[in-house]
Structure formats: C-alpha cells, structure tokens
Amino acid sequence: MRAEPQATEVAAPSTAALAPVPAPPPSSAAIPGFEMLSDAPPQGLVRRFITTQRHLIALFLGGLVAHARQGQALGQGRRFRLLFSLERLLAWLVRPFLDKSIVGRPFPVQLRRRLEILGPTYIKLGQVLALRQDILPESITDELKNLLDRLPVVPFERYLGLIEKDVKRPIAEMYSWVDPIPTGSASIAQIHRATTCEGDSVIIKVVKPGIRETLNRDAVLLRLLGAILQTLIPRYRPKQMIREFVEYTRREVDLRREADNAETFTANFHDLPGVVFPRIYRQYSSSGVLCMEFLKGFKPGSPETLALSDEDRDRLVDLGAASIIRMLFQDGFFHADLHPGNLLILPGPRLGFIDLGMVGRFDSDLRRTFLYYYYTLVMGDAEGAARYLGAIAQPGPGADPAGFRREVTEVLLRWNRSSSFREFSLAQLIMRSVNLGAQHNLFFPVEMVLMVKALVTFEGVGQILKPGLDVAAVSQAHANAIFRNQFTPQHLFKEVLRAGPEVLEALAKAPSLITEGLRLLEQATRRSTENPLAGIRGTLFGGFCMVAGAVLAGARGPWPVWAVLFAVGIGAALHRDRR
C-alpha cells in the first residue's frame, strides 16, 4: 500500500516564513504538481451504488474484450472455434459502449484505471490487493503497484479550517508557520510541514473531508460485492480480502490510532536508541488531525547514502535486522506498510520509521509459530520450516496439507543449496512457499503477507547499503537471541503467572467437579458390574503429569480444563479401586 509520505530533509524555512501564519491563497489557486479536490459532497448510497456497478459491469465487459483480443493473438480459436467466435461477437457488440481509452488496454490496466476513477476508497483497496501475491495473479499485483499516490488536495485555507475545526483551537495558537504547499497527498490524508509556536519542526497530517462518509458507504457496497464474487470466484477469497481491507482502512481514518501506534513502538524500542519513531504532539492532535515530529534525514538510495562509511552501513543493516525481527517475533506488533519511502536514515547513524497508521498484530500463539518457522528457515531446516508453515495455513475445501508440505520442503532444499547469496532472497522464498498454499487450497492470514512485505523492505534497503548482503546470516543472530529468550526461566515464569487466573479458577471448581464426577460414576457402577476404569490408573497419572509439565513450560492453551478432567479421572479411579 502506498504511504502517506513524510518529507525528507529540506532547506530551513526563511525568517519570513517563520512569521505568523500568512493569509491563505484563494481557494481556487492551483498548487504545483497537484489537482484540487472537488468541493462536491460525497455521493449518497444509491448514487454510489449505481456508479460502482457501472464500473464493475464495464470492467467485466472490458475483460471479455481483452480476453477475446488475447485469444485471437494466440490463435486459441482453432481448438474452441465455436466458443471463441461467440466471445468475439459479444466483444464486438459491447465494445462501442465502453470507454475507448480503457477498453483497448490489457485487463490488469483496465482494473487499475477503474479503481482510480472510483476514487480514494478503491485506490486504497487496489493498494491492499497489490500485496496479495499469494492469491492474485502476478500480472494484476504488479499493475496495481502503479496506482496513483499523488491524489487531489484540499485548498490551503480549507486545510487550515479543517485543523481548527477538529482540534478546536485557532491556528495562531498552535503554529507560527504552515507550509502552503503540501508535502504529499494520498488516498486518506494530506500533509504539510509546519513549525509550532514552541519552535519545533513538525508534520501535520489531516484526513480529507468526506473520506469517512465515502468509506462507510463504500464498505456497505464492497461487502455486497464480496458476497457476490465469493460465489463466482471462491478460489480468490474475495469476501475475506474485502473484509480485511475495510477493517484496516477504518483504523487508518482515525489518526488517534496512528498516534497510539507511534507511542507503542517508542515504548517497545526504548532500549534500542538507534531506532527512532516520531514524537506525537497530543495537544495539537485529534481524530482527524495528527501533529508529529519532523524527522530530519534522508531516504535509503538518496545521494547522501553514498557518503556513508562501511561502519555506518553495517550499523544500519544490523539496526534494520534487529528492529524487523523484534517487531515480528518478539513484540508481535509491526509496521504493516513498510517500504523504503517509510524509512529514514538519521544522523548517528540511526534508523527512523514513519507513517505508522497501518500496523499488524500477532497473538501469542501465532507469533510463536511464526518465530519457529523463521528460525528453522534461516537455520536451514527445510522439513521443520515446512511443518510450521503448514501449521499457520487455514485449510479450505479439498485442502492437501501433506502435498503442500512436500512441495515446500523441496523448494526450501533447493534454496538451501543456492551457492550465491546475491541471488538468495529470503522474502521471495517465503512468498513462493505461501503461493504454493493456494495451489493446495491452503490460505494464510493477511499478517503473513504483511510480514513478507516488511522482510522485502529490509532486504531491499540492505542490498542498497551492502550489495550482496547475506540476509539469512544477518538474521540468524537476532532470531537466535529471541528464540533462546522463549525458554529462559524468567520468560517461562512470566507465562505461568500470566495463566494464574485460569489456574485459580480451575482449582476453585475442581472439588465440585470431582464430587459430581464421582456421583455419576457411582450411579453408572450400580448399573454394571464391569469395572470400566480397571488398568488405566497409570495412564491417567501419566496424563496428569503431562498437564503438570505443560504448566511448568508455560503452555497457553485451555489446559486448566484438562487439568480438572484428569483430576476427576484420577479421583474416580482411586475411589473405584478402593471398592
């Protein structure tokens, strides 16, 4: 997904610019490099439905025309002459009713253009779909990466009015200078540089007017579309993809979440001063406005990168590996929209992360499984990595987990034998393994795709800083440290304490459950002279020992229930033996 960009280093504003906020230019004034956002109110639900359906039908018919054109070029009509002739006839009939500037292009290009015409919500949808290389064809995901990222902007005076209305404070009380030229304008927000009255250099990010209303209406229509497409193309799981999109986009519209994310990241990395996240100015922020620190640095690949020493490059690569692996496998809270534009190299050198509106989260079980998968992967254990990857997948109808594990193992073994790390891409390896899942009707959570994107970014930036970088070797040290930390006495003790309420609840209910179990067994015994529990005392005792071991190991499943059941069984067995 494209980011809401943050400015990199620029010349310091002039003395005149630091004077009180100047009178805004007229609303109709053009801003170089940007189109102006229309003042028209968002479409109503019915009108939006008609517009969306018109483009959906046009996309379907345009795809038919593109398929007929491609079939003719490949000579497919020779095998299916009748069907191909009917397709060509239908394409000829509908072509005059379609936009000539769109219908003559390949289907992936038609899809991108239709999404751009439908506006910000669908551009954001296309940016999310561009990540789903595990489900969609490569031709479509590659084209969707070209979606617009410099969208129409709000006039400057209206931009200032939005800030005052949302924060409920006059501009002059907050800022001594606001740049009238936007730093960037993406699908949801528009950002400008500014200077606070205290003299701090900041970035102001403002949600564009009408975005929330448009998103809510589009969400209703998208869910309807997802339900329809689910019956037509269930293999691509459109209903799930649309649900994921709506959930993530709604989070981005509330900028308070991004502020929370920035502060959470800062707390998680308090012991790693080389990794920086922008400070949030809560007093100047609200649900629709976010004021954050301007990080003065440059992006990887900028001319300034050439001036870095080898020592600085090594430090930045190590910081990148440490931060990505910590986010993914230690905290389970990671930057889900990571690409080189959202990274900054700061003096020190330090590594800065920006645009924190979209984050991914792993629960403890999923995070642990991801860690084991990544650890076995970088250590070269192909069978172990295939087993853990299969455990993450969600089986669909007709799933073949065994076949999936076999193919993944073969792919990993081939990669392990690769002689040149210049050709070794860990992220591509993971994505290729994930793509195999769709062929075996196994599907992965969206967090898996977002994790791969973070790894792709790390690899890309690492190769810029250190061409020929051995990503697996750099990752091993940090993955080993986190893996070992899972089994330290302190960590296991914390896991046991975390399960304390469940243990107490199980122990509190155990006497009544044992009494009830014994009563039921007593009644059953009167009906039968056969001893149903004979000879299994050792088995039950072994099961009890297994639960005790799980508790000591910090197991997080519903083990208190099993503990109670084993206790009931043991009590019943001993009671019966005494008789």
The yes-or-no verdict on residue 288 having pLDDT over 90 is: yes
**Pairing status of strand 275-276 against strand 350-353:** parallel
pLDDT, residue 207, reads 94
Can you give the length of the chain in residues?
Answer: 579
Helix, strand, coil shares of the chain, percent, nearest 5, are 60, 10, 30
Is residue 389 within 8 A of residue 373, CB to CB? The reply is yes
Query: 226: closest CA among 1, 442, 52?
Result: 52
Q: How far apart are CA 172 and CA 68, in angstroms?
A: 61
Mean pLDDT of 170-192: 92
pLDDT, residue 560, reads 47
Q: How far apart are CA 461 and CA 299, in angstroms?
A: 10
pLDDT, residue 347, reads 93
DSSP structural state of residue 153: B
pLDDT, residue 32, reads 67
The yes-or-no verdict on residue 549 having pLDDT over 60 is: no
**Pairing status of strand 359-361 against strand 333-335:** antiparallel
Q: How far apart are CA 67 and CA 107, in angstroms?
A: 8
342, two tokens: 């959202």
pLDDT, residue 291, reads 98
The yes-or-no verdict on residue 76 having pLDDT over 70 is: no
C-alpha 188 chain-centroid distance:
17
Q: How far apart are CA 441 and CA 134, in angstroms?
A: 11
Q: How far apart are CA 277 and CA 351, in angstroms?
A: 9
The yes-or-no verdict on residue 544 having pLDDT over 60 is: no
Cα–Cα separations (whole angstroms), residue 56 to 124, 134, 249: 17, 23, 21
The yes-or-no verdict on residue 18 having pLDDT over 70 is: no
Give all domains of the chain, ordered by start, each with its CATH number: 7-37+151-209+254-296 (3.30.200.20), 45-149+214-249 (no CATH), 299-486 (no CATH), 494-578 (no CATH)
Query: 521: closest CA among 561, 566, 568, 567?
Result: 568
Is residue 364 within 8 A of residue 332, CB to CB? The reply is yes
Query: 211: closest CA among 148, 162, 164?
Result: 162
As a whole number, the mean pLDDT across the chain is 78
Task: Categorize the per-residue pLDDT at 182 as very low, low, confident or very high, splitting at 50, 70 and 90.
Answer: very high
What phi and psi values does residue 178 have, to the nearest 5 degrees?
A: -130, 125
pLDDT, residue 577, reads 43
Q: How far apart are CA 333 and CA 1, in angstroms?
A: 18
pLDDT, residue 547, reads 46
The yes-or-no verdict on residue 553 having pLDDT over 60 is: no
Reported pTM? 0.71
- Burial (0-12, 13-18, 19+ Cβ within 10 Å), 41: exposed
Q: What is the pLDDT of residues 254-263, one digit of tens each?
A: 999 999 999 9
Is residue 324 within 8 A of residue 223, CB to CB? The reply is no
Q: How far apart are CA 459 and CA 274, in angstroms?
A: 19
Is residue 338 within 8 A of residue 327, CB to CB? The reply is no
The yes-or-no verdict on residue 154 having pLDDT over 80 is: yes
Q: Can you list the positions of beta strands (E) in 354-437?
A: 359-361, 394-395
DSSP structural state of residue 354: -
Question: What residues pair up with 177 in beta bridges, in sequence order?
Answer: 195
Is residue 377 within 8 A of residue 354, CB to CB? The reply is no
The yes-or-no verdict on residue 23 having pLDDT over 50 is: no
What is the chain's alpha carbon radius of gyration, rounded to the nearest angstrom?
A: 29
C-alpha dihedral, 318 to 311 to 458 to 7, nearest 10°: 120
Label each residue of 309-353 as H, E or C: CHHHHHHHHHHHHHHHHHHHHHHCEEECCCCHHHEEEECCCEEEE
The identity of residue 100, as a single letter, is K
Is residue 576 within 8 A of residue 519, CB to CB? The reply is no
Is residue 440 within 8 A of residue 403, CB to CB? The reply is yes
* pLDDT top residue among 162 and 43: 162
Task: Locate all alpha helices (DSSP H) within 422-499, ordered by sequence.
Answer: 426-439, 446-465, 471-485, 489-498
Task: Categorize the per-residue pLDDT at 193 as very low, low, confident or very high, splitting at 50, 70 and 90.
Answer: very high
The yes-or-no verdict on residue 1 having pLDDT over 70 is: no
Query: 434: closest CA among 413, 448, 418?
Result: 448
The identity of residue 116, as a single letter, is E
Mean pLDDT of 271-283: 95
143-147, 369-373, 437-441, 490-494: least confidently modelled range: 490-494
Q: How far apart are CA 112 and CA 129, in angstroms?
A: 11
C-alpha 292 chain-centroid distance:
22
DSSP structural state of residue 287: S
Give me the long-range contacts of 472-477 (CB less than 8 A, separation at least 24): 472/378, 472/421, 472/424, 472/426, 473/421, 474/317, 474/318, 474/321, 475/321, 475/325, 475/374, 475/378, 475/426, 476/378, 476/379
pLDDT, residue 263, reads 96
Is residue 538 within 8 A of residue 498, CB to CB? The reply is no
- The conformational region for residue 7 under phi > 0 = left, psi -120 to 50 = alpha, else beta, is beta
Is residue 245 within 8 A of residue 125, CB to CB? The reply is yes
Helices then strands (H, E): number in the chain? 22, 12
The yes-or-no verdict on residue 180 having pLDDT over 60 is: yes
The yes-or-no verdict on residue 9 having pLDDT over 70 is: no
Is residue 186 within 8 A of residue 68, CB to CB? The reply is no
Q: What is the pLDDT of residues 480-503, one digit of tens each?
A: 777 777 666 665 556 555 555 665
165-169, 193-197, 281-285, 357-361: least confidently modelled range: 357-361
